[in-house]
Amino acid sequence: MRCATLTAEQAHQQQFEELLERHRGIVFKVAGTYCRDPHERDDLAQEIAAQLWRAFSGFDDQRAFSTWMYRIALNTAISHLRDRTRRERHHEPLQEWHDLAAESGNPEDDARLRDLYRCIDRLDAFDRALLVLYLDERGQRDIAEILGISETNVATRIGRLKQRLRKEMER
């Protein structure tokens, strides 16, 4: 006969799994922003989940889980990008990112999507993080908390980022 009560450790793990499942879109969004290759994207998503589990004991449940999750996910992705950049200094990429872009069937839309990905790929890690949060319609207060900058700085950087992307997309 199985015991119906969970140990504290099992309850902790179950809470983590439920929260991770509920907010799993954040993991895939961040991984997809920092990796175009499907295998590398899957590896990054796994690493983000592992980092979330390692840090979960320090999660303050008085705060929003999604905000905490974004912070961990983006820090993991930025570290991954830095490591990849170091590796790529010595190796040429096997395949261009645009070979991985999904085809919509509309050549004009596909070209604009490739242009957008090209612009995103040229952003530094911090601006990518800012863009992910902005496109996810996070408030300036949340973005500031996740990235560790002031709300005023968030507004300024978003404005500059929009201008830069507009300019680059017009080329």
As a whole number of angstroms, the distance between CA 41 and CA 151 comes to 30
Residue 80 lies in a domain: yes
Q: What pLDDT is attached to residue 155? A: 93
Q: Tally the domains of the chain.
A: 1
| Residue 106 identity | N
* pLDDT tens, position by position, 41-79: 999 999 999 999 999 999 998 999 999 999 999 999 998
Q: Give a yes or no: residue 89 inside a domain.
A: yes
Does a structural domain hold residue 9? no
pLDDT band, very low/low/confident/very high, at 105 (cuts 50, 70, 90): low
Could you tell me if residue 28 is inside a domain? yes
The answer to whether residue 103 is domain-embedded is yes
DSSP one-letter string for 14-55? HHHHHHHHHTHHHHHHHHHHH--SHHHHHHHHHHHHHHHHHH
Cβ neighbours around 25 below 10 Å, total: 10
3 within domain boundaries = no
The mean pLDDT of the chain is 83
> 78 lies in which domain range?
14-170
Asked if pLDDT for residue 4 goes beyond 70, the answer is no
- Give me the mean pLDDT over the 25-46 stretch: 92
d(CA 132, CA 34): 10
Report the pLDDT value the prediction gives residue 20, as an integer from 0 to 100.
95
Q: Euclidean distance between the first and final Cα of the chain, in Å?
A: 69
Q: Residue 145: is its pLDDT beyond 60?
A: yes
In a domain, 1, yes or no: no
Is 2 within the bounds of a domain? Answer: no
- Map residue 65 onto helix, strand or coil: helix
What is the tens place of the pLDDT at every residue in 109-122? Answer: 677 777 777 888 88
- Rounded-to-integer distance, Cα 55 and Cα 7, Å: 20
